[in-house]
Amino acid sequence: MKITITKNEHEFDITAAWRIIAQMLEKANAVIGLSTGQTTIGMHGIVSKIHAQYPFDVSKITLFNVDELTNLPREYSGSCYTMIKNQLAGPLGIPEENFIMPPTLSDDFESECVLFEKRLAERGGADLQMLGIGLNGHIGINQPGTPFESETWVSPMDPDFEARVRRETQVPPHIVLGGLTRGIKNIMHTRKLILIAKGSNKADIIEQAILGPVTTDIPASVVQLHPNCEILLDADAAAKIIGKIKAN
């Protein structure tokens, strides 16, 4: 693993943004996986700003998100489709056919999982995945206990996150919420992974995921086994591993 520690959050956002731009410039038809949440808003904004100031061709770039919420309207502001559309795909002018996302509503999510992977495979598979990490070590929506051989599926949400989504959407209790997520096996088949984290609240889980044993109790720990993985952190997220590792 390559470990990169930035001085602060702003430097983290700039560094992460340039990792995405570099992949776009290196391969004109790159297939790039993204993640949503507070960790990625800043980096997506910087990518969009740089592209607006110094336009480069993204007409053949494919974007997708590692996961998507299920049984909610796509128009919900917290849907991954809406967030990536507003933060990156829209500002860059990525053609809709090059924005690969599963639907949020379906009568057959099992088939949607297969179709999602099929569409990515048809484009040669994922070149880069910007991969967030949850406070409990989840990647995508693969919660602790998910087998490493899991393939794209619909996972239960974290209970706290589900409670927040229900408050925001007023979805009735009888509707089962979840997340269609690339499985850990699918994620690990990505040519390059960049595990990203910033903020002091991620320091404990980063230490466990990067320096602890590889275990399904902490799904993110599996990235230790990936042949082309970078761990990109700001100083706060790296607080528990500084001095224990050799960083760039």
Question: Domain-by-domain residue ranges, the chain?
Answer: 2-234
**Per-residue tokens: 157:** 């949400």
- What is the tens place of the pLDDT at every residue in 108-141? 999 999 999 999 999 999 999 999 999 999 999 9
Class of domain 2-234: alpha beta
- pLDDT for 173 equals 87
Task: Give Cβ neighbours of residue 226 (< 8 Å, ≥ 6 apart).
Answer: 1, 188, 193
- Alpha-carbon distance 231 to 224, whole Å? 10
Task: Give Cβ neighbours of residue 175 (< 8 Å, ≥ 6 apart).
Answer: 71
Check pLDDT > 90 for residue 178.
yes
- What is the tens place of the pLDDT at every residue in 69-93? 999 999 999 999 999 999 999 999 9
